[in-house]
Amino acid sequence: MLNCVWEHKGNDTLLYAVDYIGAYTRGESLAVAAAKMPGEIASYLKWRGDSLPASLDVNIVQEKESDLAIKDADSDVLFESEKEPLTMDEYQFLKALALKSAKDFLRLYEGIPDKNATAVPERNTFYGQVPRSATEMYEHTKNVNSYYFAEINVDADNGGTIYECRKRGFEILEATPNFLQNTVLEGSYGEYWSLRKVLRRFIWHDRIHAKAMYRMGIRVFGIEQIPNPFCF
């Protein structure tokens, strides 16, 4: 079974795979998002270098009705599973995934022939204009680094590449006593955060904008021109 968290506003759905950190689907209904989940898990596990589970049936383990713009991937859900402490082995595994995601995002960005080209129409979202070029997508994705870490009281920055600033953030985190306790904190806008949530959100946010960058790159330059480190 694919244990999933369902966050929704009306019918608009974000569906998250609990056991595959950062894997998600969106849809105009739960049924649409659930139908996409097996393909998302197949892509995600190919990226991670793992085999598929025996069952790809979706099992909803938590539901969150939201007031946010779910159709634009605005999210504030904290999984029940994200309230549990971490072991060092688990933390190291999840951190390695978050750093691999950053490294692969950088590789995708660097492989776009013209980083200012776009085939994405102008559109407003809850955070402003949707990023349209590879440069805009990359800068937007990189620059959540200080924001996400700040939500768990880690003073990180956005300097350097997406991989460099994320790696520095984890190094600062690891100098904090008892960081594996995974304390739940109330952050900006009344949203609750934990270290587990930050780890998920990095990979999830990378996947959102990597998918957009990859699709845009194919439309502009053709599939043979664009690297696919995320195995989309």
- Number of domains comprising the chain: 2
Backbone angles phi, psi at 183, to 5 degrees: -60, 135
Reported confidence tier of residue 125, pLDDT bands at 50, 70, 90: low
122 shares a domain with 208:
yes
Reported confidence tier of residue 119, pLDDT bands at 50, 70, 90: confident
Backbone angles phi, psi at 30, to 5 degrees: -60, -40
Q: Calculate mean pLDDT across residues 221-231.
A: 96
Reported confidence tier of residue 130, pLDDT bands at 50, 70, 90: confident
96 shares a domain with 65:
no
123 shares a domain with 96:
yes
Q: What share of the chain is helix, strand, coil (3-state, %, to 5)?
A: 50, 15, 35
232 within some domain: no
32 shares a domain with 126:
no
pLDDT digits (tens, 9 = 90+) for 184-210: 999 999 999 999 999 999 999 999 999
For position 26, which CATH number holds?
3.30.2390
17 shares a domain with 121:
no
Boundaries of domain holding 147: 81-225
pLDDT at 120 > cutoff 80: no
Pairing relationship of beta strands 2-9 and 58-65 according to DSSP bridges: parallel
pLDDT at 128 > cutoff 70: no
pLDDT at 123 > cutoff 90: no
189 within some domain: yes
CA distance 149 to 168: 11
138 within some domain: yes
As a dihedral over the C-alpha atoms of residue 88, residue 197, residue 103, residue 144, rounded to 10 degrees, the angle is -130
Reported confidence tier of residue 129, pLDDT bands at 50, 70, 90: confident
86 within some domain: yes
56 shares a domain with 96:
no
Closest CA to 36 of 15, 63, 8, 51: 15
62 shares a domain with 169:
no
144 shares a domain with 96:
yes
230 within some domain: no
CA distance 27 to 86: 32
Q: Calculate mean pLDDT across residues 96-103.
A: 98
Q: How many CB atoms lie within 10 A of CB 124?
A: 9
152 shares a domain with 121:
yes
202 shares a domain with 144:
yes
